[in-house]
Each structure stands twice: as structure tokens, then as C-alpha cells.
Amino acid sequence: MTTATPAPSLNKFEKLKAEKDGLELKSEIAEFAPKGWEALSEEDRDHRLKWLGVFFRPVTPGKFMLRMRIPSGILTSGQMRVLAETVQRYGEDGNADITTRQNLQLRGIHLEDIPDIFDAFEQAGLTSIQSGMDNVRNITGSPVAGIDADELIDTRGIARKVQDMITNNGEGNPSFSNLPRKFNIAIAGCRDNSVHAEINDIAFVPAYQGDRLGFNVLVGGFFSAKRCDAAIPLNAWVDPRDVVAVCEAVLLVYRDHGLRANRQKSRLMWLIDEWGLDKFRAEVEKQLGYSFQPAAAKDELLWDKRDHIGIHAQKQPGLNYVGLHIPVGRLYAPDMFDLSRIAEIYGSGEIRLTVEQNAIIPDVPDSRIAPLLKEPLLQRFSINPDPLMRGLVSCTGAQFCKFALVETKNRAVAMTQALDAELVTSRSVRIHWTGCPNSCGQPQVADIGLMGTKTRRDGQTLDAVDIYMGGKVGKDAELGTCVMKAIVCDELQPVLRDLLIQHFGAQPRAGDTLSAGITIAT
């Protein structure tokens, strides 16, 4: 396959990629790692290493982050143990975070240890290859694929094959290492759109064509600081066996024709805008070598989104999956060892991750539920969290991310605990925090989304958030919009309290009174 032709006016990143493919660092790492991070060129340190999934963190220089690839968020207890050992042995002040793409990021890693860590990953069937910069991100799929009693299509194998195609079975694939920008793929096999199909560059959602079950294809969904758009129908129906080929064709069209001059206008939707959907579709068909069948008239996303927390009967009689709430996805090495142990003792040795940054233990026999519930880990990783904590999601924020305008994870947990303590809420409310307009914490899909910003008052710069509302997930998903600007973080809790009371049926606990009301149009 040929590689992309760079656009005539090359921006900094196009130049960087044209000068040297980030994947080349793979064969060089054994040589440069022992010299330490200070010896690296700025381009390799800050950017090219991300082709190997190794992220320099300017907030904690010398302590790198490793972003894995875990298709559908499914890993074995053995793999989780290798990741736990990595954090324990090599992570200085290390931890791992479950991400909003059903993935894991490990922290506190020194460059010198990366070759040994990669050897351990290879032996365990793990990879972090091509997980950052202008590459395809973790492939998301239903977290209960293969075990959901109401599943339509088991998407596990498809997601894995898509990853293998993109990464050349984890070896690294120069065919897809120079995309115009990042690229997100989601594959939904269940009725509840558990992958947020609407916010991916390509998404496959289940749909019947006559009596044949396959997928309708959506394209162009994305969030960026400048623009956010839900994916639009490509008017194509795809047999499950053709998903890999369709992903490959779309990626090749995007690679070879995607806009590269301005990185703020490089995501797939910008190409679709420029060409129009009909031309885009025709180019993908040309690449595929056949015409798409038109989309099925309706898709099968008929349910509200589930969060998978709690105990749920599987399609396999006598077995259950148990969803554990992991507050804002934060794990430490002992937690990871414990999850591995629990998955082996009570389940089949498998662990699954969700886009809500939680974990699922599948295949727990009815008879093993009671002893599992007595495990000390379940005191912290509850199967029945408080209603507001249950729907909490947060991006990394200022603790590790240089783009962050505010601290997110710790603040999110503290404020949510306080709100759960002062309010009685009969339903879970999905509150998503994101530290900056890049929207990694997906505030636009939330009931209440909080996007970090700064505001000036009395000559001081203060941490603040813009508030989003109206995000609808599951069937008929819609993106939320900004309803309030620059609420100072120190004054946010009463504002959230009022929103929860006015819009989500929360009640003050006995003895509390309503604070001065805030009214907003949503």
C-alpha cells in the first residue's frame, strides 16, 4: 500500500510525520530508552513516542503515561495482572485509569523501563501501539458482547479483527500511521448503544435488512475544541463479515484525501462537508470495489443506555455479569491485582471495561454471587453506588494533562459525594467532567456536562466550568449544548444542587432547604 501524499502547505505535525514515521521509534527504542528522556529530541519525546502509546507528560516530566489498546474493553485476568505488575514495579507514584474509550492508561512510567514493559506486553498479548496522535483510537464495542441476554450481534471478534487490521496484529502498521488526525471507531451489537455510536468517526449500529442482521453505518461524529458533531447516516448497510473491509476502505479514503492543512479542520466530518456525503460514499465504494446496500430503514437501537452496574443474568443460564462502579475510573496496582483475583475466583478470569470508566466481572455462577459480594474490594467498587456517583465520568484533568484548565477527577468525586449526601435522588444522573474544550470526558453526552475553563474576577483568575445539558444517550442520541458559562468551581455545588432539584427530581434531605433558585432553559 502507498502512504499518504502530504498536502502542499505542511503544518507542524504534517512536517513531523513526513520527516519520520512515529512507528520507526519501535525499532530504535532499545537503543534510546537507556539514555533517558532528557536525551530525546523534542519531536520524538512529545509526539512520535505516542505512536508507540508512550505519552510524555509535561506536568510530571520523566513519568510517562502508557495508553493501551483493549478492543471492546475486554481483557483477561492474566493481562490485568501484567498491567498491575507494570504499575507496581515501574510506575513511580503510579496508577491506571479506565478511559472513556473502554481502555486503560498506566502512569508514572520511566522511559528506561519501556523495552522490558513492551516485552511483558508482547508475552501477554497486550499492545499500546498506535494509540495516540494521528492514529485510530481504541475500538469500542458492547461491554457485554457475547453474554448479554438481549444481544443482537456478538461484536467481540469484529472489534478485535478491526484492531488487528489497523495495527497489523499489534506489530504496527505504516498504512495507517499517517492519518490526517485521530480517528474513532465504535461497533454496537446491543440495543442500547452502549458505545456512544453518535460520537465516533465511524460507527456500526445493528439493523435488519429483511431477515438479515447487520449494521447501518454512521460517519463523521467527533468532538473538538472548535466544533462538535453527531455522526450522520452513510446510507449503507453492512454484513458483519464486511465491517473490517469497510473500516479499511474508509480509513484509506480518509488517509489519502482527508484535509491536512489545518488541524482544527482535519477530522473526517470536514472531508464529508467538503465533498458532500454522496461523493464520500462513492469514494469509499470505489475503494471497496463494490456498492453499498442502502441502509436499513431503521436501526435496532431501541433502548435507553444501560450502565451495566449491579448483578445481571447472562444469556448463559446460571451465569451473571457483575458491574462494579470504579469512581472516575481510577485504579491502583492493588486494585488491579484484586480485580484479577476476583475475576479468577468468582468468574471465568475475564474483566471488561466500560466507556463509563467502570469494570464488569462476567461469568459469575449464581452460587458465587453471595461470596463475591462479601469481597472487601466491593466496599469501594460498589455494585450499588449512590445515584449521582453512579453516573459520574471524568477526564484526566490537571493532575496529568497539560491542556487542562481545571483539576477534574478529585474535584468531581468530592463534589458528587457532597451532593449525594445533601440530596435524595431517585434516578442516576450522568454528570461528566472534562478539563478543557477537547471534551475527552464527553460533557455533550451527559445529563449535566461540566467543561473546565478560567474566569476573571477582581483581578484574579479562577477555576470555572461551562455547564452543558440535554445530552441524550442510547436510542435517538442527541448532543447536549452549553447552557451556562463560567461558573466558578468554588461556587458550583449549589448550582448543581439546584439543577438536580429542578430538572432531575432530586429532593433536599430532611432538614435542608432549597437554595436561591437558578432557572435555565434546556
Q: Which residues bind ligand SRM (CB under 6 A)?
A: 55, 57, 65, 67, 97, 99-101, 103, 105, 131-132, 137-138, 181-182, 184, 199, 222-225, 267, 395-396, 400-403, 438-440, 442
List of residues 6+ apart from 8 with CB closer than 8 A: none
3-state secondary structure of 345: helix
172 has catalytic annotation: no
> What DSSP string describes 60-102?
STT-EEEE-B-GGGEEEHHHHHHHHHHHHHH-TT--EEE-TTS
- 449 within 8 A of 469, measured Cβ to Cβ: yes
Residue 434 binds: one of ligand SRM, ligand SF4, none (C-beta under 5 to 8 A by kind)? ligand SF4
Residue 435 as a binder of ligand SF4 (CB under 6 A): the answer is: yes
Catalytic status, residue 265 = no
Q: Choose among 11, 33, 1: nearest CA to 114.
A: 33
CB of 405 to ligand SF4, least distance (A): 7
Amino acid (one-letter) located at 81? R
Three-state DSSP class for 330? strand
In this complex, which beta carbon is closest to ligand SRM, that of residue 158 or of residue 412? 412
Q: Considering beta carbons, is residue 145 or 404 the nearer one to ligand SRM?
A: 404
Choose from ligand SF4, ligand SRM, none: what does 436 bind? Cβ within 5-8 Å by kind.
ligand SF4
**Burial environment of residue 119 by CB neighbours within 10 A (0 to 12, 13 to 18, 19 or more):** exposed
Report, in Å, the least distance between residue 252 CB and ligand SF4.
28
Partner from ligand SRM, ligand SF4, none contacting 404, C-beta within 5 to 8 A by type: ligand SF4
Q: Which residues make beta-bridge pairs with 299?
A: none
Among 328, 333, 404, 429, binds ligand SF4 (CB under 6 A): 404
Spatial strand order in the sheet of 359-365: 74-76, 350-353, 359-365, 319-324, 310-313
For the bound state, the minimum distance from the C-beta of residue 408 to ligand SF4, rounded and expressed in Å, comes to 6
CA pair distance 464, 448, nearest whole angstrom: 15
Among 440, 469, 477, 499, binds ligand SF4 (CB under 6 A): 440
Least distance CB 398 / ligand SRM (angstroms): 10
The answer to whether residue 402 is catalytic is: no
Which grid cell is 279? 461523493
User: Would you state the cell numbers that stand for residue 226, as one nine-digit string?
Assistant: 472548535
Which of 107, 440, 449, 497 is flagged as catalytic? 440
Cα 499 from Cα 520, distance rounded (Å): 9
- Under rule CB under 6 A, which residues in 265-284 are in contact with ligand SF4? none
Q: Please say whether the beta carbons of 429 and 388 come within 8 A.
A: yes
Least distance (Å) between residue 182 CB and ligand SRM = 5
Is residue 440 part of the annotated active site? The answer reads: yes
Which residues lie across from 136 on neighbouring strands? 183
Q: Is 464 in the site for ligand SF4 (CB under 6 A)?
A: no
CA–CA dist 522, 261 (Å, integer): 37
Sole binder of ligand SF4 in the list 348, 438, 502, 522 (CB under 6 A): 438
**Which is closer to ligand SF4, CB of 13 or CB of 275?**
13
Contact residues for ligand SF4, defined by CB under 6 A: 395-397, 401, 403-404, 434-436, 438-441
Catalytic site positions = 67, 181-182, 435, 440-441
